[in-house]
Amino acid sequence: MSGWAKKRFWAEVAVCACEGGYTLTLDGRALRTPAKQPLVVPTEALAVLLAEEWRAQGEVIAPETMPATRAANAAIDKVRGQMDEVTELLAAYGDSDLVCYRAEAPEELIALEERAWDPLIDWAAHRYGCRPRIRSGVMHGPQPKALLDSLHADVARLGPFELTAFHDLVAMSGSLIIALALLDRYAEPEALWQVSRIDEDWQIAQWGEDEEAAALTAGRRKAFLDAARFYFAARA
């Protein structure tokens, strides 16, 4: 038996200014979130991004093709009500950041990590005035409190829409430093995604990759790039 699918019920999508920002209307009716709150976003650029998704729908609505709409709903219905908790969750990545933990062997992988990650360490040292400590192996070693406080402060400055996107940037890359560097426009999103994949790509080069793992990687890459697009639209 096929699952239930919601069919398209509108003809026209419009972006409208409203109190608190911008919203979308479908045939003149303002959109609401799944929790029945007004779907109001902070910038016109973000509203346009959402509108593109709604206009692109076919006869049957495909939620998986609407990442910006899902993120906006999450920002309003979930993240906005628990900003402190989400901030703490993400800032905690700073004490065990991907780019600070290096392989002990082989030399080829050590060199790959150095070329990809040392410039990010330099960026963080310059931005925060405190150099992250690099470790070899997987044993945890604490980062300087001054660095952790500065990383936390940057995350705490984000609004609910920015924080929603930032969550996926951190979760998909496994790195608070990579996500913060993206926000600072250190490099293009695709380049930073590739930087986050150094260890995995090296393993694939040695042993190959099965179809299931490749599909998961493709999904994570798309989520990372979608989150970057959402973040910068929310800041426009």
- Strand 101-102 to 135-136 pairing: parallel
Contact 8, 60 (CB under 8 A): yes
Buried b (16+ CB within 10 A) or exposed e, 25-56: bbeeeebebeeeeebbbbbbebbbbbbebbee
Strands 135-136 and 40-41: unpaired
Structure confidence at residue 210 (pLDDT): 87
What number is the average pLDDT over the span 177-191? Answer: 98
pTM comes to: 0.95
Model pLDDT, residue 209? 83
pLDDT of residue 2: 42
Q: Are 210 and 112 in contact (CB under 8 A)?
A: no
- CA dist., res. 82 & res. 220, Å (int): 24
**68, 46 Cβ separation under 8 angstroms:** yes
Residue showing tokens 């398209």: 8
Q: Are 24 and 47 in contact (CB under 8 A)?
A: yes
Identify the H or E element spanning 184.
none
Query: What's the confidence (pLDDT) of residue 20?
Result: 95
Domains and CATH numbers, the chain: 13-77 (3.30.2180.10), 81-235 (1.10.3580.10)
pLDDT of residue 193: 98
The predicted-structure confidence for 53-74, as pLDDT tens digits, reads as follows: 999 999 999 999 999 999 999 9
Residues 102-152: tens digit of each pLDDT: 999 999 999 999 999 999 999 999 999 999 999 998 888 899 999 999 999
pLDDT of residue 1: 34
CA distance 132 to 96: 10
Q: Are 230 and 71 in contact (CB under 8 A)?
A: yes
**Whether pLDDT at 153 is above 90:** yes
Q: How far apart are the first and last CA of the chain?
A: 45
Helix (H) / strand (E) containing 85: helix 83-91
pLDDT, averaged across the chain: 95
Nearest-10 crossing angle of helices 211-235, 44-55: 140
| pLDDT (tens digit per residue) in 34-44 | 999 999 999 99
> Long-range pairs for 31-40 at CB < 8 Å and ≥24 separation?
33/72, 33/73, 33/76, 33/77, 34/73, 34/77, 35/73, 35/76, 35/77, 37/76, 37/77, 39/72, 39/73, 39/76, 40/76
- All residues at 6 or more sequence positions from 127 whose CB lies less than 8 Å from its CB, including other chains: 180, 184
